[in-house]
Amino acid sequence: MASFKPTKIQVYPKLGEKVTQDTLYWKNYKAPVQIKEFGAITNIDFSPVAPHNFAVTAFTRVHIYGPFSQEPVKTFTRFKDTAYSGRFRSDGQLFVAGCEDSVVRLFDVSGKVALRMFKGHTKAVHVTDFTSDRYQILTGSDDYTCRLWDIPNATELTTYQEHTDYIRCGVTSKLNRDLFITGSYDHTLKVFDARADKSVMTMDHGQPVESLLLYPSEGLLISAGGRYVKVWDLLKGGQPLVSLKNHHKTVTCLCLSSNGQRLLSASLDRHVKVYNTTNYKVVHNFDYAASILSLALAPDDESIVVGMTNGILSIKHRKSLEESKEISGQQKRRPSYRVFVKGKNYVPKQDDYLVSKPVKQHLAKYDKQLKKFNVSKALDTALERKPEITVAVIKELDRRGTLKNALAGRDEQGLSHLLNFLIGNMVDPRFAPVLVTAADMILDIYQSVIGQSPVVDRQLLRLQELLEREIDYQQDLVEVLGMLDTMFASSLPRKEVNLHLSRRKTESINSDREERRMLEAAAQNGNSSCTD
């Protein structure tokens, strides 16, 4: 008796992930180190001087971590309420942070007590930053004002009250100590010059602005708010250049890579997108477990630090060259194929007595049912699997001539399950040749019950609309194909007629004529001889 042959599942070509230099670069990080903070992490800032410690602002404290430490090397806790926007000065010696109690505090990185306390705002201060000359501080508050403070004298220098909503982000120029930019929930970005009494440029983002970022050349400005990331040309009076909408929720923070050629944006949708700054296409994507509030890159992109709403700080360190080589070597050694095929090619000698070991055949559930000729159950089992398996089982049933039996005798629920599968996979070019036959049989079998079930009727109408739409697409494609064929044919150069071939054709035609004349003459001579 012949053994049962399992159903052959056709393997379809898969479009694998395109491996680019960006993919290799941004995937070359170790598994993340996760640290639990006391509250949502609203800001992360790296020190510009070695060893490049980073400050994490969360709840009522600011922790400073070393590059590879999992415990804070320094903690600032002199805040009466939630702290915001902890930032280092360019020399790494001073540190400033805002607070919910409207007081701005200046710290020495090596000390604990605040060196200066700047009081003047009436609501929470969410924006703090140092100017490029290191002697002034920019602050932005929920009282709609942004202010400049003098560090040595601890006095307020200038106040601007042009925004009409909370100021939640700001950035100072690294090339000019008098220039700074603020973003507000009133949807506007304003460029200020400390030598002027009012803003010198205003741009409308269209959404509450959450983050700002200047390019190193400071000719371009990037703003994030809502689901949009927008790029502005400051040298052309704030002209919008690009508007990106790759996130599904609010974009909360922005960051540039060390060489300035990649832009990173993080969002409440738990994703970090990496853009190429030449064409602003997404080249890589990071996924996280919770909504992201803050993001920072270490110098030379040595680590990616992300702060989330659930208080988790995620730190990814770049793999060293030795670790990358070791991992690649492990990947090469992993498939030890020789072990599994050892002895498979051994051929017995003439005097050897061969004992064959019976190989147990492991069948899938639908194959076991097919073996017992339970065709309906086999089809039901296949419908719960991947579409490739279901189509293979339908094809096998059609080959056996039992597909009609497997489709018949179904109740409303079973028929609805079948129609759902057809609606989801009918227009897939991989499955269409098989499923069209099945759909035709279903309509023949159940045409008498059409109109008795509103569920089945709705599904049949959906299937009809789907097929009509697909036919329209195919007709449009055929028309386009005809146009392309015409264009290609007209663009091809005309081939010159070969004179040698034309002569040979002429000679053959003339020889045919001569033969015909000779045959006619012979026939006439024969007729005349018969009459004589």
Output the 3-class SS for 32-76: CEEEECCCCEEEEEECCCCCCCEEEEECCEEEEECCCCCCCCEEE
Q: Buried b / exposed e across 24-47, counting CB within 10 Å, b at 16+?
A: ebbebbeebeebebeebbbbbbbb
Closest by CA to 252, choosing from 291, 216, 282, 219, is 291
pLDDT at 1 over 50: no
The predicted pLDDT at position 348 comes to 73
CA geometry: angle 165, 126, 57, nearest 5 deg: 155
How confident is residue 339, by pLDDT bands cut at 50, 70 and 90?
low
Q: Please tell me the distance from the alpha carbon of residue 170 to that of residue 189, in angstroms, as a whole number.
A: 9
Structure tokens at 482: 């005809």
User: Is 264:273 a contact under the CB 8 Å cutoff?
Assistant: yes
How confident is residue 511, by pLDDT bands cut at 50, 70 and 90?
low
Sheet holding 155-160, edge to edge: 125-130, 136-141, 146-150, 155-160
SS3 content of the chain, % helix, strand, coil (to 5): 30, 30, 40
pLDDT tens-place string over residues 354-392 = 777 777 778 888 888 888 889 899 988 988 888 889 999
Structure tokens at 532: 């004589």
Give the least confident one: 339-343, 360-364, 386-390, 401-405: 339-343
Q: Helix, strand, or coil here: 114?
A: strand
pLDDT tens-place string over residues 139-158 = 999 999 999 999 988 899 99
pLDDT at 14 over 70: no
Peptide bond into 51 cis (omega under 30): yes
The predicted pLDDT at position 466 comes to 87
pTM of the model: 0.62
pLDDT at 168 over 90: yes
Mean of the per-residue pLDDT values of the chain: 85
The predicted pLDDT at position 144 comes to 92
Phi-psi category of 196—alpha, beta or left, where left has phi over 0 and alpha has psi -120 to 50? beta
Closest by CA to 433, choosing from 402, 375, 394, is 394
What residues contact residue 22 under an 8 Å CB cut-off, 6+ apart? 262, 274, 276, 283, 284
User: Is 306:293 a contact under the CB 8 Å cutoff?
Assistant: no
The predicted pLDDT at position 528 comes to 47
Q: Please tell me the distance from the alpha carbon of residue 252 to that of residue 264, in angstroms, as a whole number.
A: 11
Stretch 63-73: mean pLDDT: 88
